[in-house]
Amino acid sequence: MDKGMDQDEGRYKRNYPISWDQLHRDAKALSWRLHDLKTTWKSIVAVTRGGLVPAAIIARELGIHHIDTVCIKSYDWKNQGEPIILKNIEGDGEGLLIIDDLVDTGSTARVVRNMLPKAYFAAVYAKPEGKPLVDVHVTEVGQDTWILFPWDSESRFVEPIAGN
């Protein structure tokens, strides 16, 4: 297991690595679900930083050209802390589509929901604790799973599960 994950008091027992190709496929699958809603959004709001890449893919697929961000810091490389709002969005969220890569414990999603209560919230990946806070997602993983996004990793040798 990655050293960063086992330092988080054993909270993460599994790794779920996501490749760039898989992320693109999953974001496109989310785009299909959003397109099927037959809704026209005024703008996409990406939750930074993780929501930036999926938001770009979804914006392309849905033909949305206006993209904004809410900036909330809740993670460092190994721990989740209290969310800190770095950049807000004015209004109540009417006509906005919020995109994030992952809803985990829901702490960031709660902040965004309170900020933009009328927005539609979509995440590519969801964990059980955060899932009720989003309107739609594509893939659910266990709460004890660390999702290793492609922007947080590089290819390297990994020991076999059973050892040598």
Domains and CATH numbers, the chain: 20-150 (3.40.50.2020)
Residues whose CB is less than 8 angstroms from the CB of residue 43 and which lie 6 or more positions away in sequence, other chains included: 64, 66, 67, 68, 95, 96, 97
Please, what's the largest Cα pairwise distance for the chain? Answer: 57
The pLDDT of residue 156 is 80
pTM here? 0.86
In which residue ranges of the chain is pLDDT below 70?
1-10, 75-80, 164
Measured CA to CA in angstroms, residue 2 lies from 11, 76, 84, 162 at distances of: 13, 15, 26, 16
Question: Can you read off the two tokens belonging to residue 133?
Answer: 């806070």
Work out the number of other CB atoms within 10 angstroms of the CB of residue 3.
Answer: 7
pLDDT tens sequence across 60-92: 999 999 999 999 987 665 566 788 899 999 999
Q: Which residues belong to the active site?
A: 100-101, 104
